[in-house]
Structure formats: structure tokens, C-alpha cells
Structure 1
């Protein structure tokens, strides 16, 4: 139906007769001469309708409107002097139309495609129109490019792509499962996979050695900008590998994806820091290192202090730490209220953050009078406090202080627009995560990653001795600009060690057999040492595209309530259908 696409013709084609087809991007009437910008997936070409070329086609062209689908036959001509459009690849030529075929008329659009739209629900309802916009078209194609690069890289590295089941059994991945009734087995349910974790480990037992999958995963959890109920990850598992092998593989993989998608070289190897260092310096296990404002420990400044609050904190084994928000002394009342709100949500036990502000040649703070001259001098030097700075203090337990100041640090960066316009891609690895964490509500130990994560060999005696909080995992997360791109670990491959891990997690032998007998049995038959990692493809595409939400790089996403406004899902199901799968709804719909 066409001889060329709409971003193909150049000056070298002048004089040729061509056929184009696409959407009407814009129509302009210049004194009876009609100019149409014709658009397809690849770009735009200007088409000119003149009565002397074809009076009937020119007459019809007067009735064209945006998004009509038309086919045009015409002659490639050089644009008139001074009318070339340098922003277009086809900007030096135009098509002088000799034939016009209206393939499909478009109704009036619910929104203009050449303007950004703040009403996301409207965009989701007409997603097929939203995807026509150049930014969205670019995002979807960029996602394809980086996905293709990942496949090529892993194939070249000897990995085999294997699909794993979508209908499976529930697994403890940290979120609620989506359940599917099994009609042929009344009263029983499948679960949609939160991740292919057990299956990829079984593939290692099966001897495939190197597996990957562009895997669809499902989690029934509250949504936000970088979460969806269904998402995609690049799932990787390999046998006979160490942590170093996985890290080197993934660095090369991400480098190839960003090279293909953005044409940039990603410096390797990536910097590394331990989980403990990340929390102490940034208050986050996925730190954004594009800006400073790091958390500074003040034990050497206030170690001998008589200031009651700090003294009591130190005596109880706590810490006093601070961040210096450089140049933020002009913080507004509204911003300060927001910071206090963030800190309280993160666990601050008082109503306001303690601060010292350097402004107008003096230090302003309710605390300043309680510090000795030596403490003031040491504090200024330690934090490099200068005119225009404001320092925020938090005292308490090590973990709580890190969490509070980490959240405050991120909010300050947002307020000060510290990363606005940044083109930096700061990759790093966070390693040596804790294996276990105590659930304060239940009093039980929970796996920080998942129950198949291997404890550090040096820390196994600690695990045997019940010092679970000190046990490190052979686990690693790759981080980019404050986002976790993916995480993985070396796995437990011994039946006895896996059973011990389940025991610590409070999973009884009976429950182990019910939920995990397949993998525990597999470990009896020569399971190889193995490990892997899963990368969030949606999140990688989002960051590569410079977007703030993964919905902008997913063709048909759900909104923040988990609904697809275009296809009207989730939907109600009639009684007959529910009866066939042995389900009775207890939900009572509210009446108007």
C-alpha cells in the first residue's frame, strides 16, 4: 500500500513518483493550497494539494481532519526556498499529490495528540490514541530495542530462554498472590507467579546451567508510579557460578541495553557498597548518588556532650546523625512542614526535626545555645557548614535514624530539584544484605529477599547459634539513580540447609512438604551450586526513556487502582460463570 514510509524520502528522491499512507497529522489551508503533514510510525512527510495537479483530490483534501487515514500518490519535489524544516528528516522535500484515497475517516478526537495531557484516566481510556503520540511511540520502541539487546546479549553468553508456568502454586515472595479457580479441581486454586523463582532453580537441577526468560509476573499489592499488578522482569539463573560471575554478567547486560537504546557507554565495573554503608550514608538500600547531602555520624562531635537529648541517646546505645542541605536555608514554612510530616511518617518520635540554619552571618536554632564552643566549632568543620546551609539532626537507634534522614534527604532533593535536567546514570551494586529481619508485629523472622537465599558461608555458625540478625546473605541489588533495577542471590542448593532456613522462618516440616516438597526433593538428586538475578524491565525502560512512571513504557497499563479503563477490567462475572468454577461471591455492591 506504500512505496516508502513517512521518514524515508530525501532530496535524492526528487522527481520520483511515490505512494505514502498514514494518518493526517495536521492540515493547513494556504490560500486554496492545502498542506497536509502525513504521519506514520517512522515520521512525517509534507504533502501539497494543488488544483492544477488534481482538482478533485484538492477539493476532497479541504475536508480532511486530524487522524484521518489517507493514501497519497504524488511526485517528490524540493520545498520552496526558505520553507525547509530542519527539524524533520524529510524537511527539504514535499510530495505534490496527484491522487488521494481516504482510507478511513476519524471522528473528533477526545484530546489533542500534539499536546501533553494531565488527565491520566482519559489517556488510559483511549490508550490506543495516546500511543500514537510521538513520546509514547518512542517509549514503546525504546523498550523493544533494549529488550532485543538483552536477548542478544544473553544468547551470545550461552543462556537458553525457557518459559515457565503461569498457573502455579502460591510462593512466599512477599506480596499477595493473584488466585485462579481450578474448575477441574473444585475448591482448589492456581496462583499467578510473583516470580519464576522455584522453576528457575529446578531448571538448574535439570542441568540447563544457563537460563533466562522475559517473564511476566503478578503481585496483588498497592500500586504506585513504579509498580503494576502485572509486570515484566528479565529473569536469569546459572549453575556453577559465584556472586562475581553474576555481577560481571549483569554489568555487561545493562551496558548492552543502554548502548542499544540510548547510544551511551556505561562505565564498568559499577561501584559497590555494602547494605550497611548504604543505610549509614544515604538512609536507603537503593541510594541515589547523583547528589550529596549524605548522612554524617556525629559521635566524634558530641561524644562527650552534656546536651541531655544527645547524651541520653548515646548512653542508650543510639546514634546522633545529620545531613547538611547545602544552600537550603531559605526553606519555606510549607516545605518545613512537609519535611516534618515525612520524618514523622518515617518514625520520628517528636513533632519537628531539629535543625541549625546558617543565615545572615549567624546560626539560628533552638539547639545552638546548648552546644559548647568546641562542639559548635567541630560541627561546623565536620559538616562544612557555610552561609545558606541548613543542618537537620536526628537522634535514636541506628536503623531508625538512617530511615528518617534517608526519607528527608530524598524530599530535600525533590524540593531543591537537585536532579532536574541530570543526564547522569549512576549505577552501583549494594551487597551483603542481611539474610533475615525480625517482623515486629508477629515476632517471627522473615527472609529479607526470599527463603532460597544463601547465607554467607562465614556467617553460617551465627545462624546455627541463633544470632540471626547478624547473618549476611550472598545477595546483591543493582541500583540506578535511586531505583532498584533488580536483585538476586546465590541460592541454597543443599536440602539440609534449605530445611534449616525454613525452620528459622517458622515453616513447619508439614508445611514444607505441602508447599516446597518438589524443590526439597529435587535437592536430593545432585543439585548444582547456582544463583541468579531478576531485572525489572519496566523500570529499566522507564529510566532509559526519562519517564517518572512505568505506565509510560507499558503499552496497556493499569491505573493506580489496578483498573484498565479501556477494556473495563476487572469486571463483574455473572452467577452462572461463578457457579461453574465453584465460587460464591460475598461482596455486596452498594446501591445508588
Structure 2
């Protein structure tokens, strides 16, 4: 039906008779007898000169047979890859007529996202979406190649599984053959890939579809794709090498440049310096410790366990209204208040609280924050976690560049805490799943109780790029004594452990090798590489932020007969 793709024709094809197919992007009349038709396919656009009497309208699907020729002098289009040539002496066959589209298929015109998703089949014709989906395919191919080069075996794990605690809500599926019972859709293949290690697979990977019933946002969908990997007889160092090579291969396939060695930062340093466990290191404005400056302060607001500050270059130009709004923002983030200081000539600090501080304290603030004339200094005092959280968010709000600026800054964050809090019953709350191996140097701390347990580090690690968490992984527990102790600390008794994880624990009784793994989100990596702020732009058929699908109107009620067959009854919503 066609001999060439529209966007691939060039001056080297001049004089050749070709057949091209695609959609009518634009039609421009040239007198009564000729019309210029821009024909579009997935590769681009080519101009065709056709009989002006031909009934061709926007988005008609046509086949054009003609001769490639140079455009007349002075009519070349430098904005098109095919701008030097056109197809003339055309014969046109209409393959499919079309109604006017619900929005122009034109990158220059913004369209409401709901309308785009309702007519996604039209939206996908745009160059941006075509580029993003092909970039995604390139990433998937590169990842597969890199994993296979490292002797990983691709294995598919089941989509209908038992519900297990993974840290988020499950999507559940009623079992028709067992009324009153349910499958769960996998939040990850975690337990199955560990079973693969018990089964001697040695190195497993999968580009896996996972589902979590969580609130949606720019970097999260109900269903997502991730590279999932696990290997036996390895530790953290080997996993970081495996995953680093896969990520570098994907980046190089898209950009032409490998990633190189990825730097590391401990969780503690990331929190202290950036107020986040997924720090965006493309810009400065690091959190600076100021607590010693106020060790003997008379200012009550700074008589706190922790005081930190950030320096906003050039921020002294902010108006009082802007600073008041910034203070309200800090309070929404959880701060009790926000102290601001403008830096004048000679590091003189202007602030409503300056009169309450000693000359030594003012000098200490300016020195520790490396203040320069024209800067704005922001200080928060409170418990350490609250200070880090508030200033970390303010740093991003004031300094974070767009996702497509500043290059790709990958970072490994390591040595996460094993437990993130102590609950009301005195039991620790796991920061990850309960199969994460504690740090070898902290094993003795497992004999302690209460707040002392928060000092236990885990052998877990995250991969971060430009402030986005790409994924996480850990060395797994394969020793029965360690697993038993972790369950004891978490308040999980033998019966509960058997009910929740029985099949995995039983498998471990038959010889479990030391193993470790990782998973990272492909949607997020592709979005970063495509320069998109929202992963919906790199997914063919995403959900809206409210979880709906404007294309199919999902979710929808199901027929009463289906409910009856499943043994289900829908209760009316609470009044």
C-alpha cells in the first residue's frame, strides 16, 4: 500500500515515484486547480500537491501516489525534516473519511487534558505522544538487553494472587468459583521473585505491571510498569551495579550518553542536607545546621531542639506580601512559624526578629549560611524531623528547576533506617517490608526496645534522579533467626506470620540462598527522559488524577446478574 514513510522522504528521493499513506494534517488552497496537503504519519509530515477539486479534509486517511521533487525556490520549510521536497503529480485515494476532530492535532494548541484523554486515539497522533511512546519502547528494549547481558532470565509472575501487606491498598478481584473469596492484583512481584531465588533461578527480571490503590499524582498511577529484579548470592554492591548498568543503557539509548558512575549519599545526609530522602541535587540551597549558633539564645522561638536555615540567592527582592504568603506556606507544611532575613550590604541582616538576637547570633547566621548581599535567609526551629520536612519543601518550592533543565542527576540513597517510628503499643513501624535485612553492623541493636530501635539501619537503597524516586530495593532476610526476631519486634506472632506469609516462610525452610533485589518505575524514568512533568504523558491510556478513565468511563457499576454470579451485593453509600 505504501513504499515510504512521510517523514523519511528527502532530497535523495527526488525523481522517484512513491506511495505514502497517512492523515491529512492541513490543506491549503492554491487557486482553483491545486491544493497543498500536509500528509502526516508517525514519522512526520510531507507536503503533497494535489488536484484542488479533491475532497480532502482534516484527519481524512488517504493514500497518495506521486513523484518526489524539489520545492520551488524560496518555498522551502526549515521547520520540517522534509522541507526541501514535496510530492507532486499526485493520485489520491481516500481510505477513510473523518468528522472534524474534537481538538486540533497540533502541538501549538493547548487542549484540556480531560478532552485529550476522552479522545486519546486522536491525541496519540500528535508528534509529542508519538515521540514519547517510541522513547518508552526504546527504554524497554535497552533495559531488556542490559539485563540479559548480565545473565538475568525474564520470568512472568501471576497477576491474580493472595492479598499480602505491601504498604498500600490492594485492588481485589472476586473469585467466581469461590464466593466470598478474593484475589488481589499484585502491588509488586516481591514474594514470587524471592520464591524464584529459592527455586534456583539465580537471576530473575521482569518488566512487570503492578497495581496499587493509592491517591494519584503527577508521578503515580493506579497501574504502573517497573523493572523488577532479584539475584542470589549477591549483596548491595552487586545490585547497584546490575541496576546502574540497566539505567545507563536506557539513558544512552535515548540521549547517546551513558550515565557513568552514580554517586551515593546516606539517608541521614540526604535528610540533613536536603530535607528529603529523594533529594534533587541539580541546585543548591542546602539545609544548614544552625542549632549551635543559638545554644545560649534568649530568643524563645529559637530555644528548640533543632534550628536550620536555607539561603535563597537574590530572594531579598521579595515583597512583604510575598514573604507573608511564604510564611503561610511554611505553616501549611507543618511549621510553627518561619523567620526570614534579608541580607544587605556588609552582610547586614534585616528581619522583624533581628532586634531579639545578639550581634554574635546574627554574625553566626550570616557566616554559616554564606550569606551575600541580596540573599533571603529562611530559618525554622522545631523538632528535627519537622524542621527538615518544612525546609525541604520550601527549598523545592523556591528553587527546583523544570524537569528538563539541569541535566540528569542520578543518586543512590543508602543506609535507610529499618524502622521509621514507634507506634502507640511500643512496636516499631517498618520503613520497608518485613523481609529487609538489617545492616550487618547494627544486628546487636535488635536486642533493644523502644526508641533505640530507630537507630537500626537497613540494607536498603533507593535510586533517585532529579528529585524523583525511581525505585528501591534491599538485601532480603534469608536467615530464620533474624526473620523471627523482626516478626517479634513488629508484634507479628507465629499464627499471623503463617497466615500472611506462610508460603514464603515454608519455602525458606527448604534452603534459601542469600539474595537481594530492586525495582524501579519505568513510567518515571521515561517521563524524565522525555522532559515531561507528568507520567500521564508517557502512558498510552492513563487514568486522570481522580482515578477515572474518560475514554471508557471506567470505573462503572456492573450488571446485577454479574454481582449475583459472584455472590456480591453492593451496599448504598452512607448518607
Q: In structure 2, what is the Cα distance between the partners aligned to 1:216 and 1:561?
A: 20
Shift of 1:504: 1.7
TM-superposed CA distance for 1:337, in Å, is: 4.3
1:323 aligns with 2:301: no
How much does 1:568 deviate? Answer: 1.2
Question: CA distance change for structure 1 residues 532 and 390 in 2, over 3 Å: closer, same or farther?
Answer: same
CA distance in 2, matches of 1:173, 1:420: 29
* Contact 2:418-2:456 at 8 Å conserved across structures: yes
In structure 2, what is the equivalent of residue 452 of structure 1? 435
The answer to whether the Cα contact below 8 Å between 2:404 and 2:528 also exists between their aligned partners in 1 is: no
1:48-197 equivalences in 2 (<5 Å):
48-50=49-51, 58-60=52-54, 63-114=55-106, 115-197=108-190
Distance 2:72 2:520 in 1: 51
Go from structure 1 to structure 2 and tell me whether the alpha carbon gap of 1:514 and 1:404 turns closer, same or farther (over 3 Å shift). Answer: same
Q: Distance in 1 between matches of 2:80 and 2:200?
A: 53
Tell me if the contact between 2:185 and 2:210 (Cα under 8 Å) persists in the aligned partners. yes
Alignment of 1:266-285 (within 5 A): 266=259, 268-285=260-277
**Deviation of 1:546 (Å):** 0.4
Compared CA separation, residues 9 and 245, structure 1 to 2 (3 A): same
Aligned length: 570
1 CA distance for matches of 2:404 and 2:262? 23
Q: Which residue of 1 aligns with 2:417?
A: 434
Q: How big is the shift at 1:441?
A: 6.4
SS of 1:7's equivalent?
Answer: helix
CA deviation map 1:90-121 (0-9, x unaligned)? 22211113311001111011111113434111
**1:467-506 pair list within 5 angstroms:** 467-506=452-491
Distance 2:62 2:477 in 1: 61
Partner of 2:378: 392
The match for 1:3 is 3
Instruction: Look up the match of 1:227.
Output: 220
Q: Which residue matches 1:286? A: 278
Q: Distance in 2 between matches of 1:577 and 1:481?
A: 47
Q: In the alignment, is residue 21 of structure 1 matched against residue 21 of structure 2?
A: yes
The answer as to whether partners of 2:264 and 2:411 remain within 8 angstroms in 1 is yes
Q: Structure 1 residues 589, 116: closer, same or farther in 2, change over 3 A?
A: farther
- Residue by residue, what CA displacement relative to the aligned partner does 1:493-533 show, whole Å, maximum 9, x if unpaired? 12232222222222221111111111111111110000010
CA spacing shift, 1:588–1:471, aligned 2, 3 Å: closer
Matched, 1:344 2:331: yes
> Which residue in the other structure is 2:544 paired with?
559
Which moves more between the two structures, 505-514 or 38-47?
505-514
Task: Kindly report the root-mean-square deviation, in angstroms, between the aligned alpha carbons of the 2 structures.
Answer: 1.7
Displacement of 1:482 after TM fit? 0.4
SS at match of 1:434: coil
Partner Cα separation in structure 1 for residue 165 and residue 102 of structure 2: 44
Residue 206 of structure 2 is matched in structure 1 by 213
The answer to whether the 8 A contact 2:339-2:378 is kept is yes
Cα displacement string for residues 265-284 of structure 1 (whole angstroms, at most 9, x for unaligned residues): 32x22111110100000000
TM-score with structure 1 length normalisation? 0.93
Unaligned runs of 5+ in 1: 51-57
User: 2: distance between equivalents of 1:24 and 1:76?
Assistant: 18
Contact 1:212 1:237 in 2 (8 A): yes
Kindly state the Cα deviation for residue 358 of structure 1 after the two structures are TM-superposed: 1.9
- CA distance, structure 1, for counterparts of residue 403 and residue 547 of structure 2: 30
CA contact (8 A) 1:290 1:419 kept: no
Counterpart position of 2:563: 578
Q: Quick one: distance in 2 between partners of 1:174 and 1:335?
A: 39
Aligned: 1:249 with 2:242: yes
